[in-house]
Amino acid sequence: MPTPEQQAKAAQLLTGPDWYRHAVFYEVYVRSFADSNGDGIGDLDGLTGKLDYLKGLGIDGIWLMPIMPTPFKDSGYDIADYRAINPDYGDMAAFDRFLAAAHDRKMRVLVDLVLNHTASTHAWFQDSKSSKTSAKADWYVWSDTPSRPDIGCGTYGPTFGDSAWTLEPARGQYYFHRFYPDQPDLNYRNPEVVAETLDIAKFWLTKGVDGFRCDVIGLLFETATSCELVPETVDYIKKLRAVLDSFPDRAMVAESGLGTPVAYFGSGKDMFHMAFDFPYGYFGWNFAFAAKTRDQVFKAIADTDAYPAGAQDATLIGSHDVARAYSRALGDLSRQRRAAEISMFMKGTPFVYYGEELGLHPGAQFVVDNRDFARTPMPWTTPQNHGFTTGKPWIDFGEAADQTNVEAEDKDPDSMLAFYRSLLAFRRGHAVWDTGDLKLIDVDNSGILAFTRTSAEESYLVVESFSDEPQDGTAKSDLRAGDLVRGNATIAGRRITLPAAGSAVFRSK
């Protein structure tokens, strides 16, 4: 548990325009979190009922995966109406209750803004596809052939099919979609689309949301040679930022591409406040700790040196798009723990994916696509549908939910939940973890990652092992260790000795 002094300091850091740098976020799939009315589908009232659990975990902000009406061809990333709530999840009054309850607890809320494409059932697309002369004929991207010389990209990876062009018989033309054919791309070269989507952002900000997670925001415009963050997309993002800046204390996080997100920050003040550090979090879909060396992690952290002043890394080890952290750690809980530690000790704002704090195991059933394996219902208790619903859950629980649930882990001081609580309590109110300087240390054993974190007030040394065997190594520069304040390792001069699967934090100031 954080001390009252830590809580007071955290409250101070979380006040004012820089709040997001000092927050810990939690990504929620509303459909799978908590069901309030027994229809087997998680909803906003259910989530509202769990805010105290999140507060107790040490969460300061919630990112809601899409909550708007949807034909559900891509789990809500296919939006049919941008100014309403998916009836499965409640209504606008339920959203307002949720937002007020979060704000009462000093928790912020980011909503997912899916601007690159709409659902094919959206009224705009229904109009656009009806004829070449309809009111919204030019709101989407059309071609007489399944290609266009000014657009040099296909679908966004194999999940979404072979061709980015689908024939629309009513119009006799093909439309462009980076994702499923049910997700036609909007035409951002049309100023009406720009104006309308910025107005949607304004709508949610006026409602009082604290900002956005912006879905595939680098993909809005295409050219013949590039499809990510082309100059027109950068201009659009600057306009979106100006809309946010016209409201106090708002922030947005980019779903960047898989490379370094450095370009999403612009000057550090004119584009994104935060961008996901996928080079740390995803590693080309493999998990960092499946490797036995620090090399990829070392590089991902080193690359953040190029960020402009003011940019804040959004660190993570999982999301709704990749396998559960538990799976990517090859079912080895200590690997997940070390990966989570690095994501919380490196410089930035951590994002925890719901259930990650339980070490949730994957599911075996899918309704939309195989990403559902990592989107199973949150198990709150051992018996009775794990407290998720009084009805039949919309999708099966993941494996081992009898052991891996909040009730069971609450009772076990060695559980993953206890680990996450202690990790978040350890960081709480210590701004050094959020914004302090980070310096990587070169150690002659690539199974050891070492770095320092320093602010005017505090200085820490972090050491993490990538190995399941005891390790030692010698740093190429002097180490200032100080007192061991977490974990287990020995520092003697420049020599670091770690037990099997070990990690430690030392404090020298």
Would you tell me which residues interact with ligand NOJ (CB under 6 A)?
A: 74, 77, 114, 179, 215-216, 255, 320-321
Check: CB of residue 278 under 8 Å from CB of residue 258.
Answer: yes
Torsional sign, CA 490, 494, 500, 504: positive
Taking the least distance from each CB to Ca ion, the nearer of 46 and 350 is 46
Question: Residue 434's binding partner, choosing from ligand NOJ, Ca ion, none, with beta-carbon cut-off 5 to 8 A by kind?
Answer: none
Q: Choose among Ca ion, ligand NOJ, none what residue 321 binds, the Cβ cut-off being 5 to 8 Å by kind.
A: ligand NOJ
Largest pairwise CA distance in the chain: 76
Residue 84 main-chain phi, psi, to 5 deg: -145, 175
Residue 215 is a catalytic residue? yes
What does 114 bind: Ca ion, ligand NOJ, none (CB cut-off 5 to 8 Å by kind)? ligand NOJ
381 vs 383: CA distance, rounded Å: 6
For residue 288, the minimal CB distance to ligand NOJ (Å) is 20
Provide, rounded to whole angstroms, the least separation between the CB of residue 102 and Ca ion: 19
Rounded CA gap, 385 and 39, in Å?
12
Closest distance between ligand NOJ and the C-beta of residue 366, in Å?
A: 13
297-336: which residues touch Ca ion (CB under 5 A)?
none
Task: Give dist(CA 458, CA 435) in Å, integer.
Answer: 12
Non-local CB neighbours of 226 within 8 Å, separated by 6+ positions = 152
CB 24 within 8 A of CB 59: yes
Residue 43 site contact among ligand NOJ, Ca ion, none (CB < 5 to 8 Å, cut-off depends on kind): Ca ion
Residue in the shown chain whose Cβ atom is closest to ligand NOJ: 77
Looking at residues 34 to 53 of the shown chain, list those that interact with Ca ion (rule: CB under 5 A): 35, 37, 39, 41, 43
Contact pattern for Ca ion over residues 7 through 36, marking x by CB under 5 A: ----------------------------x-
> Which tokens hold the place of 466?
């990538």
* Distance of closest approach, residue 87 Cβ to ligand NOJ, in angstroms: 21
Strand-pair partners of 28? 64
Candidates 255, 277, 356, 409; catalytic one: 255
Nearer to ligand NOJ, 178 or 361 (CB): 178
What is the rounded distance in angstroms from the CA atom of residue 233 to the CA atom of residue 316?
A: 25
Total residues found in the chain within this entry: 509
Cα four-point dihedral sign 59, 65, 66, 72: negative
We find the least distance from the C-beta atom of residue 199 to ligand NOJ, in angstroms, to be 20
Nearer to ligand NOJ, 65 or 301 (CB): 65
Told to judge if 27 belongs to the known catalytic residues of this protein, a careful annotator would answer no
Q: Which does 68 bind (CB under 5 to 8 A by kind): ligand NOJ, Ca ion, none?
A: none
**Active site residue: 35, 60, 112, 215, which one?**
215
Q: For residues 86 and 92, give the distance between their C-alpha atoms in angstroms, rounded to a whole number.
A: 9
CB of 141 to ligand NOJ, least distance (A): 16
Instruction: Give the strand pairing for 25-28 and 165-168.
Output: unpaired
Find the DSSP H helices in 58-213.
Answer: 92-104, 123-130, 191-207
CB 78 within 8 A of CB 177: no
Minimum distance from CB of 65 to ligand NOJ (Å)? 8
Q: 37 touches which of Ca ion, ligand NOJ, none (CB within 5 to 8 A by kind)?
A: Ca ion
Torsion of CA 422, 347, 457, 4, to 10 degrees: -30
Q: Is 91 in the site for Ca ion (CB under 5 A)?
A: no
Q: Which does 215 bind (CB under 5 to 8 A by kind): ligand NOJ, Ca ion, none?
A: ligand NOJ
Active site residues: 215, 255
Binding interface with Ca ion (CB under 5 A): 35, 37, 39, 41, 43
